[in-house]
Amino acid sequence: MLSADDLMILEFEATAPRGTGAKEDAIRTAFGISPVRYYQRLNIIIDAPEAMKVNPTLVSRLRRRAGKIE
């Protein structure tokens, strides 16, 4: 089961700024964590079957980008 925080991370990832520096700043502002911790958590979230139900297009893209091809 995805937590409210997990859902917020998925929503953020769908709408996040595309520039690396801008995205890193937005991660720190929105979640109060480092970008490294954010991406660690995001990788755990996209492995959850529930994430695919929430936003299949985004999760599929993230899994491909992470080398987690189905």
pLDDT in tens, 20-33: 799 999 999 999 99
When pLDDT is averaged across residues 4-13 and rounded to a whole number, the result is 97
Q: Is the pLDDT of residue 70 over 70?
A: no
pLDDT of residue 9: 98
Is the pTM here over 0.75, yes or no?
yes
Query: Mind listing the pLDDT tens digit for each residue in 10-23?
Result: 999 999 998 879 99
Distance CA 15, CA 21 (A): 15
